[in-house]
Structure 1
Amino acid sequence: MKTTYSTTIERGILTSAYKREIKESIKATKRDSLVKFKKLIEDHHAKAQSQTGTILQVSLFAFALLLVIV
């Protein structure tokens, strides 16, 4: 048994190149998951801002219409 820098014990028939590939794949998956989560938050924020802007515009139009009618 030999230990690597991250104190992971390597044993069995798996080659170090294969293990390195698996570790890189896990890192890439985590990175992709974070990017997707960040995109989801940004999309939700943009949608909320858009809805708020629409509500303000409609309210202002209704108020102006009331001022004109009354």
Structure 2
Amino acid sequence: MKYTTTTSGIERGILTSTYKEEIKRDIRIAKRKSLSRIKSLVLNHQGKLESQTGTILQVSLFVIAIIVISF
């Protein structure tokens, strides 16, 4: 095994604690980004669905109004 001398003492192993902390930080950032990406996808999809539903209702009411007026 490789021994590394740092200001906090001797670290044993291939991966130093600095490297391990960097990896942990990168994983936390990646998780945060993926969670926010999923959340934004859900919110965007929900907004589009509500918009499509509103449009369908408006067109339906317009068609019904035209049918009622014409008869």
TM-score bin (small chain):
0.7 to 0.9
Give how far 1:13 is off.
2.1
The amino acid that maps onto 1:27 is: R
The amino acid that maps onto 2:40 is: K
Percent of aligned pairs with the same amino acid: 56
| Unmatched segments (≥5 aa) in structure 1 | 1-9
TM-score normalised over the length of structure 2: 0.79
Paired positions, count: 61
Larger Rg: 2
Query: Match of 2:8?
Result: none
Structure 2: distance between partners of 1:56 and 1:11: 68
The amino acid that maps onto 1:52 is: T
Alignment of 1:1-70 (within 5 A): 12-70=13-71
Compared with structure 1, are the counterparts of its residues 40 and 64 closer, same or farther at alpha carbon in structure 2 (3 Å cutoff)? Answer: same
Higher relative contact order (CA 8 A, sep 6+): 2
Give how far 1:11 is off.
5.0
Across the aligned residues of Structure 1 and Structure 2, the Cα RMSD in angstroms comes to 1.4
Identify, as 1 or 2, the structure richer in strand. Answer: 2
TM-score normalised over the length of structure 1: 0.80
| Unmatched segments (≥5 aa) in structure 2 | 1-10
